[in-house]
Each structure stands twice: as C-alpha cells, then as structure tokens.
Amino acid sequence: MKQPVRHLLQLDDLARGTGPIHRLHPLAKLLAAFAGLVAAVSFPRADFLALAPLFLYPAVLCVLADLPFGTLLKRLAVVEPFILLFAAANPLLDRVLVPFGPWLWARGWETFASIALKSALTVAIALLLVATTGMEGIASALRQLRVPRVFVLQLTMTYRYLSVLAAEVTRTTRAYGMRSAGRRGIAPAAWGPLGGQVLLRTFDRAERVYQAMRLRGFDGDPHAGGPPRRLAARDVTFVLGWVAWFALARFVDLPGLLGRYFLEVIR
C-alpha cells in the first residue's frame, strides 16, 4: 500500500515546476480538465474511436510541462488494470452482434473498448491536473468556485495524510511479521484485530496532528494556495482554446473525416 501512495504524493513534487503550464492559474487548469472529463464521458459507447482527438490534451500538457511521460504511465498503470478487470466481463455477458466497419463483433467488446479508452483518458487528465497544479492549487481553485470549505478541507486532508495511513499499516504489518515466526501473509484470524489496531492508531495519530495544527493557529480554513489571484488573458485563452477543441472533437467525427480524406487521396 505504501508504494502506490508514495508514488501518488510524488505528483506534488512535479507540480513545483516552472514551465508555462505550471505558471497558469490553477482555476484555468481545473476548468480545462473538467471540460475534458465531461467531453470524454459524454461520448456514446459505439463512438469510442472518436475519443482519439481528446488525447491531444494530455499529450500537449505533458510536453509543455516537461513531465516525465514514463512516470505518468506508471501511475496510470496502477489504476487501469482494476478498471479493465471489471470491463472484461462485458464481452462475456453481452454477445449481441453489432457492425464494426466491414465486420461484426460482440457488443460487449465495444463496451470494453469504450471503458478502456475513457478510463485511460480521464485518469490521465486527473493525474496531469495534480502534476501541474498541486493539491494546494486545486484546493485554491475549488474555493474560488465557491465549493464549501468543509469539502475542500476534507479533500486536502485526505490527500495529505494518505501517507500517514500507509505508514501505520506498514508498521502494523511489520510488527505482525516479526511475531509470526516467519509465516508468510496474515492469518485470517488476525485480520480483525490488526484492522482494529490500525483504526485505533490512526485515530490517535489524527488527534495528535489536529492538536499540532491548532497550536499553529489552524482555524478550519484550508488557506490553500494563498490569496486568490485574477485570471490573466493567457489563462482565459487556455481555457477557451481547449473548450473549443473538446467541443469540436465531441460534435465532429474528426477521425472519420481524416480517414475519408486519406481514402480520397489514395484513390
């Protein structure tokens, strides 16, 4: 558990860059990401190939922000197998034949492909938002959108203290391993007591963290990202440009147009 959580929190380190994408207003990047997510999930199941133009957004951001592409792929690989595992049941359950170009295939494969592409796209957009903005910047943008303070605080505290929870789980399982005489894994009979110990230790650690925060003047306001700043012209251009691209990709079959163009050239 500790390794994936550590990898997730390392995205905040990437957000400290100084590239053109990093310098954009957090609200602009949040709005553009939200527009991309809405466009991705709005595509019908049968139009999964039309999702291809939307992948331009994560590709461009990854290049302009100078982010390590392999690092983001590793983060994506942590989540994607679980989604594909659930999607894999569709070809077995939905065997109705539907046309796919000049061929016929089971409608379940259509659903599987749609889920695979949509999940990869949405997770990539979310990862890039964190990697270019940071959780504090996202929290600041949410507060500017008048999201209730309690929800923003819950989001930031959960994100920040995932590593604390992972450390408690690691410490508890290590202590169990040292007392289990070399036995591998955790015996089912110990799952309940160990879970209870982790819960109690987490409550105790949370109370100590809260008391430390109160001593430092914490009053329930996340104060994320400092005082808000205004959107600049480049921020507005960034949002409007990507919203226009997402709308174009959603309502115009760009891959189909490109395919027909090449067919005409070949002929």
Overall domain count for the chain: 1
Residue with tokens 């921020």: 235
198 belongs to a structural domain: no
Does the pLDDT value for residue 182 go beyond 80? no
Name the residue range of residue 152's domain.
2-170+230-266
> 3-state DSSP: the chain helix, strand, coil percent, rounded to 5?
75, 5, 20
| Backbone CA torsion sign across 210, 214, 216, 219 | positive
pLDDT tens digits for range 76-128: 887 888 888 888 888 888 777 777 766 777 778 888 888 889 999 999 999 99
Phi, psi of 145 (to 5 degrees): -85, 10
209 belongs to a structural domain: no
213 belongs to a structural domain: no
- Whole-prediction pTM: 0.78
**pLDDT of the residue at 32:** 95
Phi, psi of 186 (to 5 degrees): -115, 125
159 belongs to a structural domain: yes
DSSP 191-233: HHHHHHHHHHHHHHHHHHHHHHHHHTT--S---TTSS--PPPH
124 belongs to a structural domain: yes
- pLDDT band of residue 2 (cuts 50, 70, 90) is very low
181 belongs to a structural domain: no
